[in-house]
Amino acid sequence: MSSPERVALVTGASRGIGADIALRLARDGLAVVVNFASGRDGAERVVEQIEQGGGRAIPVAGDVRDTAAVQAMFGMAEEHFGGLDVIVNNAGIMHLAPIGEMDDSTFDQMVAVNLRGTFNLLREASRRLRRGGRIINTSSSVTRLRQPNYGPYAATKAAVEALTAVLAKELRGREITVNAIAPGPTATELFMKGKSPELVANIAKLAPLERLGEPKDISSVVSWLVGPDGAWVNGQTIFVNGGVI
* Tens digit of each residue's pLDDT, the chain (245 residues): 334 699 999 999 999 999 999 999 999 999 999 999 998 999 999 999 999 999 999 999 999 999 999 999 999 999 999 999 999 999 999 999 999 999 999 999 999 999 999 999 999 999 999 999 999 999 999 999 999 999 999 999 999 999 999 999 999 999 999 999 999 999 988 788 778 999 999 999 999 999 999 999 999 999 999 999 999 999 999 999 999 99
Phi, psi for 13 (deg, rounded to 5)? -105, 15
> What is the pLDDT, as a whole number, of residue 1?
35
> What is the pLDDT, as a whole number, of residue 190?
76
Degrees, nearest 5: CA angle 65-95-157: 60
Residue type, 110: M
Q: Does residue 2 fall inside a structural domain?
A: no
Total number of domains in the chain: 1
Domain housing 42? 7-183+217-235
Q: Does residue 209 fall inside a structural domain?
A: no
The predicted-structure confidence for 54-89, as pLDDT tens digits, reads as follows 999 999 999 999 999 999 999 999 999 999 999 999
Q: Does residue 204 fall inside a structural domain?
A: no
Q: What is the CATH number of the domain that holds 111?
A: 3.40.50.720
Q: Does residue 191 fall inside a structural domain?
A: no
Could you list the active site residues?
153
Quote the CA–CA distance of 57 and 32 in Å, as a whole number.
Answer: 5
DSSP structural state of residue 111: I
What kind and span of H or E run contains 136?
A: strand 134-138
> What is the pLDDT, as a whole number, of residue 4?
63
Q: Does residue 88 fall inside a structural domain?
A: yes
Q: Does residue 156 fall inside a structural domain?
A: yes
Strand order in the sheet with 7-10: 57-61, 31-36, 7-10, 86-89, 134-138, 177-183, 237-240
Quote the CA–CA distance of 197 and 177 in Å, as a whole number.
Answer: 40
Q: Does residue 190 fall inside a structural domain?
A: no
Q: Does residue 208 fall inside a structural domain?
A: no
CA distances from 187 to 59, 182, 183, 193, 204 (A): 24, 15, 11, 10, 9
